[in-house]
Structure 1
Amino acid sequence: MPQSPKLESRKLAAIDGVRHGFFTRQGGVSDGIYASLNGGVGSSDAAEKVAENRARMAKALDVAPERFLTAYQIHSPDVVVVGEPWTHETRPRADAIVTATPGIAIGVSTADCGPVLFADREKRVIGAAHAGWRGAFAGVLEATIAAMEKLGAARERLTVALGPMIRQASYEVGPEFVTRFVAAEPEYTRFFKHAGADGHAMFDLAGFIAWRLQQAGVGDIDDLGLDTFADPDRFYSYRRTTKRSEPDYGRHINAIALDR
């Protein structure tokens, strides 16, 4: 079985005892609109193909398929701590996972939202967060850091990587979106570029995520700088699918694990 293509953060890869990957859409068995490494259990892809794709990703991180874990994501700030694997039926509703248990890969599913992977450079504590605008706005990043600290991590020791997500050049939003952000914090105007007389703007999700991390005390941030919307050969994109009126879309898995 070939190893699944995956992207890595240079900074995370330099940490001993940590494996990670931002998996692209390449290297799987799905076809059609899901071609080919669709890891989305919530998609309408054939379940056996999704299972095989996820098994390939688990192999790439050197864990058993049943220890390759994602939650039921709900665009929330909710975080769960995992010590033992759960099943598909018992997976929790949350948008971030943290662990100090070796041999478990924790991951998040994305298709434009921001995948954010965390590791303490000294302690064996890791995290994964699904940071779309709703989750980032509601505090999922800060909640992930707090949960990691309860396991012994320290925010000043964290290395955090931002994976492929929709970027500002591709992310047009309406005036009500801008109003919601600026009403919460006037400084958020920095994350919008004017896009027309109708009040539309281009939103910098990655910049917003990085700023929230910096405000939380994280200094070591690595952004891969890749745009899911603009690169259909490598990435799935919910927004691109919507513009094309396609019936569904694949999901990426972005995961991190501690060596045994």
Structure 2
Amino acid sequence: MHTWHWQSWEGTPYLTCSLLEAWPHGFFTQQFWPRRPDELIQALHPEAAVYRVRQVHGKTVLSPSEIEASPERDPQVETPDELPPADGVLTESADQAVWVCSADCTPVLIADVQRGQVAAVHAGWRGTAAKIVPEAIARLEAQGSQRADLRVAMGPAIAGDVYQVSEDVAAELGASVLGPSEDSADRVIAALQALPKPPVYEDPHPGRVRVDVRRFNEIQLEQLGFSPEQMAIAPHCTYQQPEHFFSYRRSKLKKVQWSGIVSTASRS
């Protein structure tokens, strides 16, 4: 069983996962706001080069060379508007740090135990419906990773028992694990509820259900052949733990917490 541990930097808490213990990494809490990755990297690996993107709830995953080549990037002004739009970043060499931010969406950190390369993914419901995590896996494989060597940790996010969405949103998520269908939303939801550890829960409001976005991502990984030993899900909910995490659903404030991981040298 993978374990999650509270760490401290400058007296402030952040989370790490035993699955990723070979890589400097952290799922940072709201207490670090408004510090950015170029500061937070000091807690992980001060010499690492920092890479992030302008998150847009899509499925694009970029490498550092693609970020640096982007016509939108101004290296002198590293504000979100000057970053290329994407929701995932993967490394190409050692000592590169990749970062994503989230409030209720799922931060996903991926690492290759042989090549040392890593990825960071922002998986909200839209990105999950578009299968951004499998897209990141495919990008890593295109660079030489073997699926069996990958490890995936999903950080704090809104839990399924409190994440109310429309039936249409649930059906869109459902298509990512059941495949395209002409069935009504009701029928798709019924099929989802028949799955082991169903990712959809009942809601008392008509036309609404509750969804576990991290479970949808887990199912997508299971369908790619990932074993339970290759995956870990944080036992933390951004909505229900205001002492540690921002939640846009709870407060409607546009504040985030950052998650990052640093690549290492190849072990082969």
Q: TM-score range by the shorter chain?
A: 0.7 to 0.9
Deviation at 1:215, TM superposition (A): 1.1
1:10 counterpart = 2:24: no
1:118 counterpart = 2:110: yes
Out of 196, 202, 206, the residue aligned to residue 194 of structure 1 is: 202
Q: 1:229 to 1:112 in 2, by over 3 A?
A: same
Greater CA deviation, 132-141 or 80-89?
A: 80-89
Could you tell me how far apart the structure 1 residues matched to 2:42 and 2:11 are? 7
Residue by residue over 1:4-56, the C-alpha shift from the partner in whole angstroms, topping out at 9 and shown as x without a partner, is: 5320011111x3xx211000112xxxxxxxxxx12xxxxxxxxxxx4x55444
When the two structures are aligned, how many residues end up with a matched partner? 229
Say what the alpha-carbon RMSD is for the aligned residues.
2.2
Q: 1:5 to 1:101 in 2, by over 3 A?
A: farther
What does residue 250 of structure 2 align with?
240
Question: 5+ residue gaps in structure 2?
Answer: 1-8, 69-74, 179-187
Contact kept? 2:103, 2:248, Cα under 8 Å: yes
1:176 counterpart = 2:184: no
For residue 30 of structure 2, give the secondary structure of its aligned residue in structure 1: coil
Out of 96, 100, 103, the residue aligned to residue 95 of structure 2 is: 103
Contact kept? 2:129, 2:175, Cα under 8 Å: no
Deviation at 1:163, TM superposition (A): 0.3
Query: Counterparts in 2 of 1:13-24, with a 5 A limit?
Result: 13=21, 15=22, 18-24=23-29
TM-score (norm 2): 0.78
1:71 counterpart = 2:75: no
Greater CA deviation, 129-138 or 84-93?
A: 84-93
Could you tell me how far apart the structure 2 residues matched to 1:259 and 1:21 are? 15
Amino acid at match of 2:241: D
Residue by residue over 1:200-232, the C-alpha shift from the partner in whole angstroms, topping out at 9 and shown as x without a partner, is: 211111111111111122221011121000011
Could you tell me how far apart the structure 1 residues matched to 2:174 and 2:60 are? 24
For residue 173 of structure 1, give the secondary structure of its aligned residue in structure 2: strand
Out of 125, 148, 152, the residue aligned to residue 156 of structure 1 is: 148
Deviation at 1:68, TM superposition (A): 2.4
Could you tell me how far apart the structure 1 residues matched to 2:155 and 2:18 are? 12
Residue by residue over 1:65-87, the C-alpha shift from the partner in whole angstroms, topping out at 9 and shown as x without a partner, is: 8x322100111110101149753
Question: 5+ residue gaps in structure 1?
Answer: 27-36, 39-49, 243-247
Deviation at 1:176, TM superposition (A): 2.7
Could you tell me how far apart the structure 1 residues matched to 2:155 and 2:117 are? 19
Q: 1:194 to 1:20 in 2, by over 3 A?
A: same
For residue 24 of structure 2, give the secondary structure of its aligned residue in structure 1: strand
Q: 1:139 to 1:179 in 2, by over 3 A?
A: closer
TM-score (norm 1): 0.80
Could you tell me how far apart the structure 2 residues matched to 1:221 and 1:191 are? 16
Could you tell me how far apart the structure 2 residues matched to 1:155 and 1:259 are? 18
What does residue 46 of structure 1 align with?
none
Out of 42, 51, 58, the residue aligned to residue 41 of structure 2 is: 58
Residue by residue over 1:87-112, the C-alpha shift from the partner in whole angstroms, topping out at 9 and shown as x without a partner, is: 32542211111113222210111000
Q: 1:57 to 1:120 in 2, by over 3 A?
A: same
For residue 5 of structure 1, give the secondary structure of its aligned residue in structure 2: strand
Could you tell me how far apart the structure 2 residues matched to 1:3 and 1:59 are? 14
Could you tell me how far apart the structure 1 residues matched to 2:139 and 2:11 are? 32
Deviation at 1:64, TM superposition (A): 4.8
